[in-house]
Structure 1
Amino acid sequence: MSQNQKPSESEERLAALYSNATAVRAIASAVEGTIGPKGLDTMLVDARGNVIITNDGVTILNKMEVVHPAARMLINVASAQQAEIGDGTTTATLMAAALLAEGVAQVERGVPVTRVIEGIQTGVAHALERLELRSRSLESLGDDVLFHVAMVAGREHADIARLVTEAARLIGYDKLREETYRLSEHVIAREGAGSEVFQGVILNKQRMSPQMPERVENAQILIVDDALEPEEVEGEALGTEAGFLLYRQYKEEFRRNLERLVVLGVNTVFTDRGVSPVAEEVLGEAGVMIVQRVASKDLRKIAEHTGARPVKRTGLGKSPEEMQRVLGTAEAVYEEERAGNIRILGGRGTQFATILVGASTEEVVGERLRIARDAASSVQAAVMGGVVPGGGAVELWIARDVEKLRETVRGMTGFGVEAVARALRKPMTQIVQNAGFNPLEKVEAASVAQVERQSDALAIDCDDGAVIDVMERGIYDPAPVKLHALRAAGEVTVAIMRIQTVIRMREDADQDE
């Protein structure tokens, strides 16, 4: 359109859609090169020169400097995928961008936006139903499937896949199927440490003082979800005689409570915040190990593993009988000096397996931690919901199911269904492209082979471009990862396509509500 030519009414009406689609496409392009076995890394650099080199989609998206609201919506989809499943963020992003692009293409052909939206919702619902039917349970495939799932999600790091698989087997399928349990939360990384699976809890902490015992057997554990300090007196009150007397009373009572803990046999204390010099002196002289400033999530792990019940500092004055009920126990608590961490072994509560991943440098530690957490999340998702063929194979199979549905849908809604079918080809297309092959040729070859052999497990070998059975090669994806990614992609696409106008709010608009 020339400078003197006015935009048409249709172009003005769809300006927001085109702008949003362009922004989404730009975001997707930042991560599409990372997918598949031949995917490459991205270097993120901030204004201070700090560098992150990663292949992890959600890390790339969350670290990007993004201001466009539609782009932020797409990043939120990836974040939601990470929070809910723990893996598949790149897949969710690519699917959303592809679905939106196909939807916009239909609008450009003259299909009303509302009809495209209806078709996308219909197509996605059908695809989800068909995808769920393609899931295979682990029981029908054998134990080695977990290792293969960890290998794919762990970007073919065999050492990490072995660690994650070993931890999963130590914990057991029943624990992995609990909604509130997250195996990925039990992965830690440390520079210079050796990689291992420890059947207990590991904290990236050290004891408060080298004079405290390095190892405690038959640990009686107190968890203080607070500072281990006397109760405070407000600053102004402290300046009065009554306030000063109250302050002395709190200190004396605090010391007595500490001495009672020693009599009770408490020999290990974990605190959420700092520890006063009085507590360090009294407990230290009694041979108690103190570990301070432990993160809340780690305190919860300790509590669950040892059977302890966290208390506030005001709870230290409980009766001996009440205090006995809040203490946890473990066979041993000790500091691994070489690794620089605290280990808790043989708690009376829930059994844990902690995955410790080591690496040579700080940058590598961060990336190996992300890889191991992705692998752990995928393994748990596979245990909970089964697996499907990887490499984009199952999406290509489902795309033909959606194409068949399109033939039965009357009116312009069918064009939205068609957009879903086209978008489902995106994962394999991008994987093949990243491997250096012509995606049009290779994806079509895989599609023809699937029809001829009636198999949803056929995809492209990224080394030589041949059609292969990905399940025979051990290439699996957790079904919940695929289901959540497709569902989220459909939801954000519909949300963006519903936006007709973008209006900038006043800075104080939220205060007027």
Structure 2
Amino acid sequence: MNLKQAGSGADVDERLAALMTNANAVRAITAAVEGTIGPKGLDTMLVDRFGEVIITNDGVTILDKMDVNHPAAKMLINIAKAQQAEVGDGTTTATIMAGTLVAEGVSQVIRGVPVARVIEGVKYGVAHVIKAIKERGRQVNDIDDPILRRIAMIAGREHEDIADLVVEAARLIGVGKLSENTFKLSEIITAEAGADNEVFMGVIVNQERMTQEMPERIEKAKILLIDDALEPEEIEDEALSTEAGFKRYIELQDEFKNNIHKIVQLGVNVVMVDRGVHEAAEEILTDAGVQVVQRVSAKDLRRVADHAGARMIKRTGLKKNAADIEKYLGYAEKVYEDEKLEHMRVLGGRGKPMATILVGAATEEVVGERERIAKDAASSVQAAVKGGYVPGGGSMEISMAREVIKFRENLKGMSAYGIDCVVNALKQPLSQIVENAGYNPLEKVEEVINAQVAAETDSLGVDCDSGEVADMLERGVVDPVPVKLHAIKAAGEVAVAILRIDTIIKKKEENTAAQKSGGSIENEMPDF
């Protein structure tokens, strides 16, 4: 679409060119995900130049994998990623509302409303929505509250097996752990082809034991975690060519072997290493019946350390005396290799209780999607435990639209048009949900508004199977408060940022080499 088409046939003022360009880019991004929202939302197929295919209706995955160059479009994608990182769900809602805010804002500017007034109204409206949602949040009674399973079902796209796994894990972990800001339930999830669905207290390490000669199973494990390579200290080639250097090399080799023997004498029977393991260490530890796992990810090492009550040590730390090294060791009831799934399990650690959700998948092609679904469900359950929940299915946004319109008269002058942008953006999630279900969005949105006014409730929405107005709370269709709050806040922030852009200028390429050599000014001029 060119600028004249976007301006309904009229010539668009040059000063609006940047705004129109950004609005078109944002609209293209919104269009990519809006068809996925709601229980009747469809999937998107992503294909790269090598023919690799991803089929998903996860908003942030679609946005993250899209080939996008436009800066305004990237801003919108970054907001979705921030939503995912912060609360783990609600990315599609945030994207749809942000796209509508921008589109409505541009329409008001074309009509003659100053951008500054539109922004003022948008900020005012979003602030009141956030305040109202906080006030209307319902709290989760306890970890056995049935509403948690409904939340897991909705965020988990009606996958009952995944919802059950997430809720079971939440019960094992408890409210205290779920309420910690540093803990994310979604991080304990792993999906593997050929696995059975499972929740257990313990940690999975996605590596196998170093050799088949090492024991497959260790009971009463005494664990050493090395956040380094288990190799002798290196010496430079130039130094090695001298007599003193070669002598030092021999000393380091002997010292390293002594350190490995020290590990064995301490009774350590499980060693996990961040990087590689030297052949001399492999031989000594194998002969001693020690189970060694190398190239363990930093994430897995941290989880094992927490669960086993261990502290990670560098290879230079192995020079310490045995009593000092003992303080770094962790303990677990059992460490064993699952040969079918090709990973290690650490169970019954003496440190923090750690649960793992193992999501099974029939084939490698669906592993990623099953894991994404489980992570969304886990994030939503944790968010609800921490911040409560509100009616879902777009009903709360409609209620907020009715609430915000009341504040329109409080704003003087043209700022009220910014409130209109917020109202229309709040209507959009329900509008898109019912459109995806095959109903007339204008008709259904008005039905819900009238029904909410008549019943004086914020929980009425649309049953996407029958098309009838229904109570979302009674149906168990709810959204976590933190997800809702962050989506509205993020949408408002990115819309304001995009509407504020008045001019787009191509940056010059930074030519470091030319600058260092005194390159000419002509060569450093920006290219417009």
| TM class by smaller structure | over 0.9
How far apart, CA to CA, are the structure 2 residues paired with 1:77 and 1:86?
A: 12
Q: Is the 8 A contact 2:93 2:429 kept in 1?
A: yes
How far apart, CA to CA, are the structure 2 residues paired with 1:436 and 1:10?
A: 35
1:129 corresponds in structure 2 to 131
* Aligned pairs for 1:211-360 within 5 A: 211-360=213-362
Instruction: Specify whether residues 2 and 60 from structure 1 end up closer, same or farther in structure 2 by C-alpha distance, changes over 3 A only.
Output: closer
Q: Is the 8 A contact 2:144 2:171 kept in 1?
A: no
Query: How many residue pairs are counted as aligned between the two chains?
Result: 510
Q: Residue 15 of structure 2 aligns to which amino acid in structure 1?
A: R
For residues 350-400 of structure 1, what are the alpha-carbon distances to aligned partners after superposition, in whole Å with 9 as ceiling and x for unaligned? 101100011111111110011001111111111111111110110110111
Structure 1 residue 57 corresponds to structure 2 residue 59: yes
Q: Is the 8 A contact 2:4 2:12 kept in 1?
A: no
1:42 corresponds in structure 2 to 44
Q: Residue 139 of structure 1 aligns to which amino acid in structure 2?
A: N
How far apart, CA to CA, are the structure 2 residues paired with 1:2 and 1:250?
A: 75
Q: Secondary structure at the match of 2:407?
A: helix
Q: Residue 115 of structure 2 aligns to which amino acid in structure 1?
A: V
2:86 corresponds in structure 1 to 84
For residues 153-192 of structure 1, what are the alpha-carbon distances to aligned partners after superposition, in whole Å with 9 as ceiling and x for unaligned? 0000000000000000100011001000011110001111
Q: 1:240, CA displacement in angstroms?
A: 2.5
Q: 1:318, CA displacement in angstroms?
A: 1.0
For residues 70-127 of structure 1, what are the alpha-carbon distances to aligned partners after superposition, in whole Å with 9 as ceiling and x for unaligned? 0000000011111111111111111110111111111111100000011111111011
Q: Secondary structure at the match of 1:407?
A: helix
Q: Residue 480 of structure 1 aligns to which amino acid in structure 2?
A: P
How far apart, CA to CA, are the structure 2 residues paired with 1:504 and 1:217?
A: 63
Q: Residue 77 of structure 2 aligns to which amino acid in structure 1?
A: I
Q: Is the 8 A contact 1:199 1:352 kept in 2?
A: yes
1:434 corresponds in structure 2 to 436
2:206 corresponds in structure 1 to 204
Q: Secondary structure at the match of 1:412?
A: helix
How far apart, CA to CA, are the structure 1 residues paired with 2:163 and 2:4?
A: 57
1:381 corresponds in structure 2 to 383
* Aligned pairs for 1:377-456 within 5 A: 377-456=379-458
Q: Secondary structure at the match of 2:228?
A: coil
Q: Residue 359 of structure 2 aligns to which amino acid in structure 1?
A: V
Q: 1:348, CA displacement in angstroms?
A: 0.9
How far apart, CA to CA, are the structure 1 residues paired with 2:47 and 2:166?
A: 30
How far apart, CA to CA, are the structure 2 residues paired with 1:137 and 1:458?
A: 19
How far apart, CA to CA, are the structure 1 residues paired with 2:450 and 2:213?
A: 71
Q: Secondary structure at the match of 1:227?
A: coil
How far apart, CA to CA, are the structure 2 residues paired with 1:10 and 1:19?
A: 11
How far apart, CA to CA, are the structure 1 residues paired with 2:442 and 2:292?
A: 62
How far apart, CA to CA, are the structure 2 residues paired with 1:14 and 1:344?
A: 60
1:368 corresponds in structure 2 to 370
Q: Is the 8 A contact 2:35 2:42 kept in 1?
A: yes
Instruction: Specify whether residues 2 and 311 from structure 1 end up closer, same or farther in structure 2 by C-alpha distance, changes over 3 A only.
Output: closer
Instruction: Specify whether residues 216 and 452 from structure 1 end up closer, same or farther in structure 2 by C-alpha distance, changes over 3 A only.
Output: same
How far apart, CA to CA, are the structure 1 residues paired with 2:37 and 2:246?
A: 65
2:521 corresponds in structure 1 to none
Q: Secondary structure at the match of 2:141?
A: helix
How far apart, CA to CA, are the structure 2 residues paired with 1:358 and 1:189?
A: 6
How far apart, CA to CA, are the structure 2 residues paired with 1:296 and 1:39?
A: 37
How far apart, CA to CA, are the structure 2 residues paired with 1:442 and 1:286?
A: 72
Q: 1:474, CA displacement in angstroms?
A: 1.2
Q: 1:476, CA displacement in angstroms?
A: 1.1
How far apart, CA to CA, are the structure 2 residues paired with 1:151 and 1:162?
A: 8
Q: Is the 8 A contact 2:448 2:469 kept in 1?
A: yes
* Aligned pairs for 1:490-501 within 5 A: 490-501=492-503
1:184 corresponds in structure 2 to 186
Q: Mean Cα displacement is larger for which, 375-384 or 245-254? A: 245-254
Instruction: Specify whether residues 144 and 455 from structure 1 end up closer, same or farther in structure 2 by C-alpha distance, changes over 3 A only.
Output: same
Instruction: Specify whether residues 89 and 72 from structure 1 end up closer, same or farther in structure 2 by C-alpha distance, changes over 3 A only.
Output: same
How far apart, CA to CA, are the structure 2 residues paired with 1:320 and 1:487?
A: 54
Q: Secondary structure at the match of 2:219?
A: strand
Q: Residue 21 of structure 1 aligns to which amino acid in structure 2?
A: A
Q: 1:284, CA displacement in angstroms?
A: 1.0
1:32 corresponds in structure 2 to 34
Q: 1:481, CA displacement in angstroms?
A: 0.5
Q: 2:121 aligns with which of 119, 122, 125?
A: 119
For residues 217-237 of structure 1, what are the alpha-carbon distances to aligned partners after superposition, in whole Å with 9 as ceiling and x for unaligned? 111110000111111112332
Q: 1:510, CA displacement in angstroms?
A: 8.6
Unaligned runs of 5+ residues in structure 2 are 516-523
1:466 corresponds in structure 2 to 468
Q: Residue 265 of structure 2 aligns to which amino acid in structure 1?
A: V
Q: 1:204, CA displacement in angstroms?
A: 2.1
How far apart, CA to CA, are the structure 2 residues paired with 1:250 and 1:56?
A: 53
Q: 1:8, CA displacement in angstroms?
A: 9.2
Q: Secondary structure at the match of 1:506?
A: coil
Q: 1:238, CA displacement in angstroms?
A: 2.4
Q: Is the 8 A contact 2:143 2:174 kept in 1?
A: no
Q: Mean Cα displacement is larger for which, 330-339 or 238-247? A: 238-247
Q: Is the 8 A contact 1:53 1:363 kept in 2?
A: no
Q: Secondary structure at the match of 1:505?
A: coil
Q: Residue 129 of structure 2 aligns to which amino acid in structure 1?
A: A
Q: Secondary structure at the match of 1:138?
A: coil
Q: Is the 8 A contact 2:45 2:55 kept in 1?
A: yes
Q: Is the 8 A contact 1:41 1:54 kept in 2?
A: yes
How far apart, CA to CA, are the structure 2 residues paired with 1:2 and 1:507?
A: 31
Runs of 4+ in 1 over 4 A off after TM superposition: 7-10, 509-513
Instruction: Specify whether residues 71 and 510 from structure 1 end up closer, same or farther in structure 2 by C-alpha distance, changes over 3 A only.
Output: farther
Q: 1:338, CA displacement in angstroms?
A: 2.5
